[in-house]
C-alpha cells in the first residue's frame, strides 16, 4: 500500500468521525480543541488501525494527541513493517 493510499484510507476514517478536512485541523488536539473524549479518540484510532491493518499498543495510542500525529505515526509505523 502506498503512502497516498494509506492517507486516503485514514481520511475516510476521519470523515466518518466528523473530521471532514483533517488538513485544516491537523494541529488541533483531539480532546482539547476538537472536544472528543478518550473513548471517541480510542475508537477513531482503532478504526484507523483496522483500515491499515497495523495495531498499536496502549502506550502508543496514549501518545497520539492530534490528527497530524496520528497520520505521521501510522505512516512511520507502516513503513517499518
- Burial of 18: CB neighbours in 10 Å, binned 0-12, 13-18, 19+: exposed
Nearest to 41 by CA among 20, 7, 18, 24: 18
Domain ranges of the chain: 3-80
Question: Residue 1: its pLDDT value, please?
Answer: 85
In DSSP notation, 15-39 reads HHTT-S-TTTTTTS-TTTTT---HH
Asked if 25 and 49 touch (Cβ cutoff 8 Å), the reply is: no
Show the cell assigned to 17: 468521525
CATH 1.10.1200.10 fits 3-80, yes or no: yes
Question: Residue 69: its pLDDT value, please?
Answer: 94
User: How far is Cα of residue 55 from the mean position of the Cα atoms in its chain?
Assistant: 12
For the chain, list residues with pLDDT below 50. none
Amino acid at each position: 500500500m502506498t503512502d497516498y493510499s494509506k492517507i486516503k484510507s485514514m481520511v475516510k476514517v476521519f470523515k466518518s468521525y466528523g473530521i471532514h478536512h483533517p488538513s485544516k485541523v491537523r494541529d488541533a488536539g483531539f480532546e482539547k480543541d476538537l472536544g472528543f473524549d478518550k473513548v471517541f479518540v480510542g475508537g477513531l484510532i482503532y478504526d484507523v488501525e483496522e483500515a491499515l491493518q497495523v495495531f498499536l499498543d496502549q502506550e502508543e495510542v496514549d501518545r497520539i494527541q492530534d490528527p497530524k500525529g496520528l497520520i505521521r505515526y501510522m505512516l512511520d509505523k507502516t513503513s517499518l513493517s
